[in-house]
C-alpha cells in the first residue's frame, strides 16, 4: 500500500480554505509557507478593497463562538484580525485533523508539524505479494479492517493467519522458509578476485 497523498486522496473533501473571500485554499506546506501565503492573500485583498476595512465579518461557524471583533481602523489591523481567524481555523482545526502540532515557542508562535512517518513496507525482511493472494477477499487476512476506527491500528495479520494456507500437506500452499524469507541481499554482491585459480 502506498502512503496517503494529500493532493491525490484528501484535498477534494478536506480543503484548506481559510477565508470566505478566497476560493484558493492554503498550500499543503510547512507552517511558515502557509503563513506567508495567507498574509499575502489578505494584504493584496484589502489593498484592492479598502472600503471593507471598517466592515465587521459575519461569525464563521467553523470557529469557536466569541464576541465580534471591533471594526478595523486601518489595513494592517484588518489583515491582523483576519489572519488571527485564519490561523485559528488552520492550526487548531483543519491541520489538526491529520497532523500532530506542537508549540515549543509558545501558543502564539507558528506550530511545528510532526513529520509523517508512513510505513510502506511492514515486513522489511520478508517477501510478500498481494498479487499472488488476489483470489482471497482482503478481510480473509485483514480480519479487523472492517471494524478499525483508529489510524494507529496495525492491521497486518500474524503468522498464524498465513499458516491457515501455508502448511505441510498436499492441499496446502508452499510453506518452506524461502517462500517468504530472503536470506541474502544479492544487490550487495561484490566480485571477488581470489588468489587461487582452477587449472583448465
Interval 98-138: pLDDT, tens: 899 999 999 889 999 988 777 777 777 788 888 889 999 99
Is the model more confident about 170 or about 47? 47
Task: Return the exposure string of 115-150: e unless at least 16 CB atoms fall within 10 Å of the residue's CB, then b.
Answer: eeeeeeeeeeeeeeeeeeeeeeeeeebeeeeeeeee
Whether residue 181 is predicted with pLDDT greater than 90 in this model: the reply is no
Q: What is the pLDDT of residues 61-85, one digit of tens each?
A: 888 777 778 999 999 999 999 999 9
| Confidence at 197, pLDDT banded by 50, 70, 90 | confident
pTM of the model: 0.67
Distance CA 188, CA 191 (A): 10
Amino acid at each position: 500500500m502506498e502512503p496517503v497523498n494529500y493532493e491525490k486522496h484528501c484535498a477534494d473533501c478536506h480543503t484548506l480554505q481559510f477565508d470566505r473571500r478566497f476560493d484558493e485554499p492554503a498550500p499543503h506546506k510547512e507552517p511558515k509557507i502557509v503563513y506567508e501565503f495567507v498574509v499575502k492573500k489578505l494584504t493584496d485583498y484589502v489593498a484592492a478593497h479598502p472600503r471593507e476595512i471598517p466592515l465587521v465579518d459575519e461569525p464563521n461557524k467553523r470557529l469557536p463562538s466569541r464576541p465580534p471583533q471591533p471594526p478595523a481602523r486601518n489595513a494592517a489591523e484588518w489583515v491582523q484580525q483576519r489572519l488571527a481567524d485564519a490561523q485559528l481555523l488552520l492550526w487548531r482545526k483543519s491541520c489538526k485533523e491529520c497532523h500532530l502540532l506542537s508549540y515549543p515557542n509558545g501558543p502564539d508562535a507558528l506550530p511545528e508539524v510532526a513529520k509523517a512517518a508512513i510505513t510502506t513496507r511492514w515486513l522489511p525482511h520478508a517477501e510478500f505479494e498481494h498479487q499472488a493472494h488476489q483470489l482471497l477477499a482482503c478481510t480473509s487476512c485483514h480480519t479487523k479492517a472492517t471494524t478499525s476506527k483508529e489510524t494507529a491500528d496495525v492491521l497486518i495479520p500474524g503468522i498464524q493467519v498465513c499458516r491457515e494456507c501455508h502448511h505441510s500437506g498436499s492441499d496446502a500452499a508452499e510453506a518452506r522458509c524461502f517462500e517468504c524469507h530472503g536470506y541474502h541481499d544479492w544487490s550487495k554482491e561484490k566480485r571477488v578476485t581470489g588468489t587461487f585459480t582452477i587449472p583448465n
